[in-house]
Amino acid sequence: MQDLITKLLHLPPVASEHGPEVDRLMFYVHLLMFALFVGWSVFFLYTIWRYRQRKHPQPDAVGVKGHMSSYLEVGVAGVEALLLIGFAIPIWARAGTASNFPKPEEATVVRVIGRQFNWIARYPGADGVFGRGDARFVTQQNPLGMDPDDTAGKDDIVVEASEVVVPVGKPVIAHVSSLDVIHGFAVKPLRVSHDAIPGISNPTWFTPTREGNYQITCSQLCGNGHSNMRGLLRVVKPAEFEDYLKSKAPRSGDTTGYE
């Protein structure tokens, strides 16, 4: 079923745990739209044939005298309401699961920050705690405003190369934000799309299920360089992820964790 949906909707192969549910929802919505299109097209063609000029050379000033049109209108509204409820109740039932984030200690936590026109990834380091930040410390060399005197931020890892690396098979909590304008953090194979809003940490979570390199695109028009705002989300083995963090860890004597 999943392969059929992927081919029919021309979607990239799914690479996250929640992806199949998103695909099924899109498939059902398309089926509903197709059914409505066919139904209203048949009704439209019928009215053209039923009230053609040859059969009614003179307009009827009185019009329809029965209540059939009212019954049809109420019936269509009732069917659409049932379809809406039929879709909404299962989605609402799953909404609680989607909003129940995994525990940070059981997940990979990363901050994804957008700016014109690249992506920054920040990891909490070995202590698992992000360092403080303040606008007073923002400079060209320290765009995130990391406090150089905060010991919790000494081991934070900041990668400014538009690359986000996460381990396969483990939940990922991504705190998405922006340094300038509204951006959109979107990774289509993972069925992830989340707005990056200045001044707001907008969390989302997902569990990658397939190793690979997936393109990060900006889903919000963010300026003249919008088309160049591409990044790479790499899903790797857990051991490779640990090696990656070690290779990016700050060297002794660094005041911040920038790569």
Q: What is the mean pLDDT of the chain?
A: 88
CA–CA dist 198, 183 (Å, integer): 9
How many domains are there within the chain?
A: 2
Residues of the chain with pLDDT > 70, as a percent, come to 92
CA–CA dist 230, 5 (Å, integer): 27
Judge if 117 and 91 occupy the same domain. no
Instruction: Report if pTM > 0.85.
Output: no
CATH number of domain containing 164: 2.60.40.420
Judge if 110 and 185 occupy the same domain. yes
Judge if 21 and 42 occupy the same domain. yes
Closest CA to 156 of 132, 133, 134, 123: 123
254 CB contacts (<8 Å, ≥6 apart)?
154
Whether 73 is in a domain gets the answer yes
pLDDT category at 51 given cuts 50, 70, 90 is: confident
Q: Which of 99, 124, 143 marks a domain boundary?
A: 99
Q: What is the mean pLDDT of residues 5-22?
A: 88
Judge if 63 and 174 occupy the same domain. no
* DSSP single-letter state for residue 250: P
Cα Rg, the chain, nearest whole Å: 26
What residues form DSSP beta bridges with 185?
A: 194, 218
What residues form DSSP beta bridges with 133?
A: 146
Judge if 89 and 178 occupy the same domain. no
On whether the CB atoms of residues 210 and 168 are closer than 8 A, the answer is yes
Q: pLDDT tens digits for 123-171? A: 998 889 999 988 888 888 899 999 988 988 889 999 999 999 999 999 9
Q: pLDDT tens digits for 240-253? A: 999 999 999 887 55
The strand ranges marked E within 155-196 are 157-159, 163-167, 172-178, 183-187, 192-196
126 CB contacts (<8 Å, ≥6 apart)?
155, 249
Q: pLDDT tens digits for 58-115? A: 777 776 677 777 888 898 889 878 877 877 777 666 655 556 889 999 999 999 999 9
Half-sphere CA count of 54, side-chain side, radius 13 A:
3
Q: Token match 């490779």: residue?
A: 240
Judge if 16 and 121 occupy the same domain. no
Judge if 136 and 229 occupy the same domain. yes
State which residues form the domain around 185.
Answer: 104-248
Residues of the chain with pLDDT > 90, as a percent, come to 53
258 CB contacts (<8 Å, ≥6 apart)?
141, 142, 158, 160, 250
